[in-house]
Amino acid sequence: MPIAFSQGFSPHPKISYASAAPTGVGSEAEYLEIGLQREVDPAELKVALDAALSPGLDVLEAVLAEPGGGSLADRIDASHWRLELPGVEPAVAAEAVAAFLAAPEVLVERMTKQGRRSFDARAAVFRCAMTDEPDLPSGAVAVPCAIIDLVVRQVIPAVRPDDVLSGLRVVAGLEPPVPPRVTRLAQGTLTAQGEIVDPLDADHVGASASESASR
């Protein structure tokens, strides 16, 4: 692919990741922008990238960015997460979630590049609710597993799922016996109804309008 490079003494590919997921979590919704020297067929780009990536890293879609649509980062202000807490009874987690939501402020600490910082993990949370337990395969031994549905706004400093888990520990002493499984399900623009709009939707609309005009 004809990747564009920056200018200067040490050129680098023009690739930017929008709100990259923290280390150690799964994700079904990561986005990146790639600068190209010339326009290419998005379908060809998707196939080429997918072939170069390791198994399990799958390119789901590639689109041309519409002129005037803004950068990808400008279109993302929230993320939707699934937090699975093996070994935690759903009722116990529900009490912790209720205490977290009832608190006007939940201060947590995290090490950053500027040193250890304390910040409010509650203000960034749009939704934090219990959801259904996973279906078990036939013959499997039932193990308690609380599952939390979480929507977090993008703020500075960023509030990550592990910060919310730290907040649950602060307000309710919730301590999962094993590391939680965290997966990002979606990211994009948060609506007043709590839905997250795909950041590529504007490009889909623009592409459809261009096709209609050409007909």
Amino acid 215: pLDDT: 31
Residue 40 tokens read as: 């290419």
Can you tell me the mean pLDDT for 9-18?
Answer: 90
Burial (CB count within 10 angstroms: exposed 0-12, middle 13-18, buried 19+), residue 143: exposed
Can you tell me the mean pLDDT for 96-117?
Answer: 91
Amino acid 136: pLDDT: 52
Residue 146 tokens read as: 């609380």
Amino acid 84: pLDDT: 94
Cis peptide before 157 (omega within 30 of 0): yes
Task: Find tokens 């013959």 and name the residue.
Answer: 139
Can you tell me the mean pLDDT for 65-88?
Answer: 87
Q: Are the C-beta atoms of 171 and 98 separated by less than 8 Å? A: no
Can you tell me the mean pLDDT for 108-116?
Answer: 83
Distance CA 168, CA 152 (A): 15
Share of the chain residues as helix, strand and coil, in percent rounded to the nearest 5: 25, 30, 45
Amino acid 211: pLDDT: 43
Can you tell me the mean pLDDT for 43-51?
Answer: 92
Distance CA 92, CA 90 (A): 5
Can you tell me the mean pLDDT for 67-83?
Answer: 86
Question: How would residue 102 be classed by pLDDT, with cut points 50, 70 and 90?
Answer: very high
Residue 126 main-chain phi, psi, to 5 deg: -85, -40
The CATH class of the 74-190 domain is alpha beta
CA angle 187, 75, 107 (to 5 degrees): 60
Q: Are the C-beta atoms of 4 and 14 separated by less than 8 Å? A: yes
Residue 141 has pLDDT above 80, yes or no: no
Can you tell me the mean pLDDT for 86-108?
Answer: 95
Residue 62 has pLDDT above 60, yes or no: yes
Amino acid 12: pLDDT: 93
- Closest by CA to 199, choosing from 33, 87, 24, is 33
Amino acid 83: pLDDT: 96
Query: Tens digits of per-residue pLDDT, 148-199?
Result: 999 999 988 889 999 999 999 999 999 999 999 999 999 999 998 888 999 8
Show me where the domains of the chain are located: 74-190
Residue 80 has pLDDT above 80, yes or no: yes
| Eight-state DSSP code of residue 3 | B
